[in-house]
Amino acid sequence: MSENTVSPRYGETMITPLKTGGAFWSTGTRNRRRTALGATAIVVLLALISWLVWISPSDSPVRKIVGDVVQPISTAQQLRNEKANLMSELVSSKSTVSNQSAELAAQRKQLEAALGKAEALEKQLSAAKAGQSKAQGQVASYKAQLAALAGGGASTGASSVAGSGTTSAGTTTAGSGTTTAPTGPTGVTTPTLASIKNPTSRYFGLYTSQSPFSFSEFNQDAADIGEQPNVAGYFQGWDKDFRADAVQAAWAKGDLPFITWESQSSTASNNDIDQPTYSLPNIINGNFDAYLKKYADAIVANGQPLAIRLDQEMNATWYPWSEDNGHGTDLNGNSQGDYVKMWQHVWNVFQSQGANNYVAWVWSPNRIDQLTASHKTFSYLQSLYPGDQYVDFVGMSGYERPATTGNTQDTTFANTFSQTLTQLRKLTSKKILLSEIGAAEVGPSGGSVKPGWITSLFDALADPANSDIVGFSWFSLTVTTSSNGQTVTNDWRINSTSASLQAFAAGIQRTDTNYQLRKAAAQ
C-alpha cells in the first residue's frame, strides 16, 4: 500500500508512520537498553566527579569550580533563611510594641483619672478651707458683738497693726465696709485694712528669693540685721492663681503680704516686652475677667488683707504693659491712656467681687531721672495715674546702680529719689511707699558706696520733710539683668558686705525714723 492510501470502508486516508530514529530514549527494546546504559553512565560520572572533589586539595581548580557553583546557591539559601527569620522577628516586635502601646495608653488613662481625682480633692480642700475661714471670721464677729454688748457698746479685741508692732482695738473700717479684724484660716488675727492703709509706724519690707514660701533667707537677713521686717514681698504672674498659703504664711509671721502682680507670664525673662497676649487692650476688653474674678474670689475666701503692687514701673519701657518705647512707637498694640483703663478695669472687677475690702492697692512707677526724655515729664507720669479712688499708696522703684549702667552722679538718697518724689507729691497727697529699692556695692568711682547710701536713706527718713513716706521694701537678692544693652550682675543684698550690713542695722534701729519693729530671733 502506498504511503497515502484511501480506505474503501471508511473513506479515510491512512498515513504510514515515519521510521523510528536511533536515539537511546526512543521506544523499543533496543532503545530501552540504551536509556538504561546512559542513565548508569550519568550516575557513574556524577559519582566520579564527587569523588574527585572530595579527594582534591582545598585549593585545587576542581574544588574551586564546584565551590563557585555551589556557594552562591548556598548563600542565597542562607539569605532566604535569614530574611525569613528577620521577618518573623519583625512581626514579633510589632506585636510587642502594639501590646506595650496598649498598656501605656491604659496607664495614661489611669494617670489622668488619678490626676482628675487629685484636682477634685484639692478643690474640695480649698472650698473647705474657705468655709473654715468664713466660719472663723463669723465667730470672731459674733464674739466682738457680744463683747461690745457686755461692755455697754465698747468694742474690744486687740489686733496687731502691721506697721506699728503695737495693738489697736476692735471694729474698724476695712475697704468699703465695716468689719472686725479678720481671723485667718491659721487662727492668726490680722490687722484691719484701714489700719494697714494708715499705719502708725513705718514699714520695713524684704524681697528674698523664696519668701513667703520659704523664710530661710528672710529669717537670716532679719537675724543679721537684728530687727524683724513687717512686710514680706514677692512676685507673681498672671498665669498663676492666688496663693492663699503664701498670704497665710506671711501673716503667721506677723508680716504684711506684699504681692507685685505682673500681667505677664511668670516664666517671662527680663525685659521680655513682646507679649501681645497680655496687651492692655486685651485686659480692658475683658479677656482676663474670668481669671481676675477667680483671683478676687480666692482673696475673699481667704479672708486676710494684703497689698498688691499692680504692673509696676509703667512709666518705663521694659515691660509689656508699657504704652510705648519712649520714642512714640506703641508696644503690644497698647495706646496712650490704656494703662489707666486697665488699672481701673482690674480694680472694678475686684470691687464687684468684694475683694477690695481686703486689698491695699500700690501704684509704683520707676524713678524718672534715668528714663527717656519723653517719659521724664510730669505730664507723662500724670497720664498714667488711675486716680485717688483706685490707689491707696503711691510708690516707686529706685536703685543706686553701678557706673557700668551709666550712673555717674552722686550716691545719695536725694540723687536716687528726689526728682521722682517731687512729681509724686505734685500728683497726689497719697502716702508714699518706696516699694522696691536697693543699692550696688560699687559706685561710679569704683569704690564701695552702699554703706554711705544706706546711711543717707535713713537720714532722709528722719527728715520731717519725708514724713509722708510710710516705709520701703528692700530687694535683697543678687540678680543678673540687662541694663542699657549690657548684661550686669548686681548684688543688692543688705548683707553683701559687713560694712553694708552694719550701716543698715544701725539705720533701722535709729529712734528718729519711726520704726517700731520686733527683735529678730537668732538663727
Q: Please state, as a whole number, how many other Cβ atoms lie within 10 Å of the Cβ of residue 501.
A: 20
Known catalytic membership, residue 12 = no
Contact call for residues 335 and 382 (beta carbons, < 8 A)? no
- Active-site residue among 227, 313, 400, 441? 313
Q: What is the DSSP string of 422-463?
A: HHHHHH----EEEEEEEE-SB-TTSSB-HHHHHHHHHHHHHS
> Which of the following is catalytic: 227, 262, 400, 436?
436
Query: Which residue in 227, 153, 144 sits closest to 515, CA to CA?
Result: 227
How far apart are alpha carbons 215 and 213 in whole angstroms? 7
Q: Where are the beta strands (DSSP E) in 136-210?
A: 158-160, 167-169, 172-174, 177-179, 203-207
262 is catalytic: no
Chain Cα centroid distance, residue 402? 30
C-alpha cell of residue 521: 530671733
Q: What is the CA radius of gyration of the chain?
A: 45
Written in H, E and C, the secondary structure of 350-374 is HHHHCHHHCEEEEECCECHHHCCHH
Backbone angles phi, psi at 209, to 5 degrees: -65, -25
Please count the other Cβ atoms lying within 10 Å of the Cβ belonging to residue 413: 23
Beta pairing class for 393-400 and 359-363: parallel
Rounded Cα–Cα distance for residues 201 and 165 (Å): 8
CA distance 117 to 359: 33
* Residue the block writes with cell 503680704: 257
CA distance 258 to 196: 11
Is 163 in contact with 471 (CB distance < 8 Å)? yes
Could you give the residue numbers annotated as active site?
313, 436
